[in-house]
Amino acid sequence: MQKTSQRELDPRHVPVLKKTEELRIHLLGNEGIRERVSLRAYELYESRGTDHGHDLEDWAQAENEVLLPLIELKQKRPRETSNETDRIVTPANLASRKPK
């Protein structure tokens, strides 16, 4: 029996997702940005009442909150005119489309 809860990845999104991941890695190489992510993850931990066991979730959410605006800004910069996509595709956008 096949699982149908996850959508198939549209092959047209692969280059954009690859570029997004490259930007993510590049941004996390910046000590200041990595520190912002770390502080946000700690804020999330504290907001949950310092409940242990959610460190990866906190870090992933903090990365999305800190990095997503930076990645979107870099992707919106016009390098060349292209009508390939009307909307920026990011891992966070794709995750929000998955059925729960």
Domain boundaries, the chain: 14-77
The DSSP code for 50 is S
Taking the whole predicted model, whether its pTM rises above 0.85 is answered as: no
Over residues 5-24, mean pLDDT: 85
Cα–Cα distance between 69 and 65 in angstroms, integer?
Answer: 7
Q: What is the dihedral of CA 79, 80, 81, 87, to 10 degrees?
A: -40
pLDDT per residue as tens digits for the range 48-78: 899 899 999 999 999 999 999 999 898 887 6
